[in-house]
Amino acid sequence: MQNLKIILQYDGSRYDGWQKQMNTSQTIQGKLESVLEKMTGQLVEVHGAGRTDAGVHAEGQTANFKLSEEYYPDQVLSYLNRYLPEDIKVLEISRAKERFHSRLNAVSKIYRYTVDTLEKKDVFQRKYVYGLGQSLDLNKMRQAAKLMTGEYDFLGFCSNKRMKKSSVRTIYWIHIEEQDGLVRIAFCGSGFLYHMVRIMTGTLIEIGLLKRPVSDIKKILETRDRQNAGFTAPPEGLALVSVSYEEN
C-alpha cells in the first residue's frame, strides 16, 4: 500500500465545492476519485487539506490517497492530468509516509481574497474577484486585521451554529495590499472554521467602507456571536493559496 501526496490547482467556478456529495457529481474530490477508480479499477478515497466551498478556487490545494498497487508518481500525475477536466490540474505528486494525512497533518494554510474596487470588473478576472465597485479605507482595514491576529475563539466568524469542536484558531498574519484597483487580503492561520475567511473578509470590507468601527473586532471575538460580524463575502474572490507541513 502506498500513500501519495498531490498538490493541485482548480477553478472552482462550476463546482459544488471540494467535498464529495450524494446529490451532485460536480465536486473536486469526486472528479479525482472517479479518475483514480478508472486508473486502478478500485475505489480510492482522496483526502483534501481544505474543504473549499462551492465557487472557491485553489492555487495550491494538497491532498493524499492510498493505492494498493505500486505506481510511479509521474505515471499517476500524467494519468490524472490526461483525464481530469481542464479546470483541474495536478501540479506535483510524491510518495508520502504511511501515516501522512493532508488535513490532519497541516500546520498552516494561506488563503487570499481579492476585491475589485473599480466600477466594473476586468473581463478576464471577473470569475476570480468580488466586484465591490467602491473604494476602501485600507488603513482602517489594516488596523482591524491586527486585532484579528493571534490565538482566539473565532466562533463569531463561523457560519456553523452547531459547532461542537473547539473553535479556537491562530491567525499568524493578515496582509492587505492594493494594486490597480484590486485589494488583496491574505490570511495565514493554523486552520479556519466554516466560512471563517469569507466572514472575516466581509467584516473587513464593512470597516473599509466605514460602515462599522475597527473596535467591532474585539466585540465579535468577545461575544462569539455571528450576528455581530459582517456579511459573508461571495465565494468567487477566495482562493486557497498553499498548505504547509512540518516537513516544509
β-strand 47-48 against 57-67: which pairing, if any? Answer: antiparallel
What is the structure's pLDDT at 164?
79
- Within the chain, all domains assigned CATH 3.30.70.660 are found at 108-244
Residue 80, classified by CB atoms within 10 Å of its CB into exposed (0-12), middle (13-18) or buried (19+), is buried
Q: Which amino acid is at 158?
A: C
Residue 161: per-residue pLDDT: 77
Low-confidence spans in the chain with pLDDT less than 50:
none
The domain made up of 108-244 is a member of CATH 3.30.70.660: yes
Q: Where in the chain is the domain with CATH 3.30.70.580?
A: 2-96
pLDDT of residue 22: 86
User: pTM here?
Assistant: 0.95
What pLDDT score does 143 carry? Answer: 98
As a whole number of Å, the CA-based R_g of the chain is: 19
Q: How far apart are CA 248 and CA 76, in angstroms?
A: 23
Tell me the C-alpha distance between 147 and 207, whole Å. 13
Active site residues: 53
Predicted pLDDT of residue 75:
96
Query: Quick one: fold of 2-96?
Result: Alpha-Beta Plaits (3.30.70)
Distance in angstroms between the alpha carbons of the first and the last residue of the chain:
24
Return the DSSP state at 87: T
Task: Specify the pLDDT at position 211.
Answer: 98
Q: Grid coordinates representing 63?
A: 491532498
Place of cell 468577545: 222
